[in-house]
Amino acid sequence: MFSPARRTSAILSFCTALACVAWSAPAPASVSDPSASGPGYAPATAAKSTARSTHRRARRAPPGGCYARSAIVMDPATGQILYEKNAEVTMPIASITKLMTVLVFLERKPDLDRMAEVTREDLAGAGHTRLRNREQVALRDLLHMTLMCSDNAATRILVRESSLAPEDFLARMNQKALELGLTHTRYVEFTGLDQRNVSTACDVARLLHVAANQPTIKDITTTRSYEFSSSRPYGSRSIQRQHMVANTNRLLYGRYEPGCAPGAAR
């Protein structure tokens, strides 16, 4: 069982780290195909040597020790900024979008035990998902899938089941961003698949602080694993499907409580 301080720290630290990772990916480089002939061809030994050299260079920490192009470290108790790097630069935020989506969804005070049906529209272009067409899933379980393993189809279903039209839900996401003082944040869809969903490290830190203090979000995002069952039509009957969702937050699997000396078990 995590202490309140560890639970709050885990969501803030991990999600800010996600933002840093999303923003730090280097632009693709042009590489010659070593299997091709002609001027672009290089002997295998030379190619391996170059790869090893590049790998060694990539492992060296940049000045300041932060690989991300944009980052921020904030004390959640005081709001004090402990470290920042390009914290006001606007960049795509990927699946951190889902935090705002869930905040708006929970504002509607939904019955989380209510069942929802998965449709082909929910699955189209959603990427990897455990959900199947016509499957019946509780909103509570979809919420866990959204926050624990960033399931895009589950997120779409939550929006559909919110009782708001998609355009109204999106408008509320942007309105809430302004209410929270996220002046450099903009959403154009609900999952983060669109790179036009943008924010800054500073705005993300503010959003994370709000999310970490929302009891449902806090409980789900600090849960290591979650199991549930759903139903799906099979001929004239329905069959049960078992699901197990593992949290992708690696900080939840740490060995120490905050403040513990190295080597002291929690």
Question: Are the beta carbons of 241 and 256 closer than 8 angstroms?
Answer: no
241 burial via Cβ count (<10 Å: 0-12, 13-18, 19+) = middle
Counted residue by residue, the chain has a size of 266
Residue with tokens 């190619």: 47
Q: Catalytic residue at 32?
A: no
The residue annotated as part of the active site, out of 37, 49, 70, 150, is 150
Q: Catalytic residue at 95?
A: yes
The residue annotated as part of the active site, out of 98, 162, 176, 199, is 98
- Which residue type, as a one-letter code, is found at position 192? G
The residue annotated as part of the active site, out of 95, 162, 199, 230, is 95
3-state SS, one letter per residue, for 108-134: CCCCCCCEEECCHHHHCCCCCCCCCCC
Q: Which residues contact 50 (CB under 8 A, 6 or more apart)?
A: 42
Q: Give the neighbor-by-neighbor strand order of the sheet with 136-138.
A: 115-117, 136-138, 225-234, 237-246
| 239 vs 237: CA distance, rounded Å | 7
Question: Are the beta carbons of 90 and 200 closer than 8 angstroms?
Answer: yes
Which are the catalytic amino acids?
Answer: 95, 98, 150
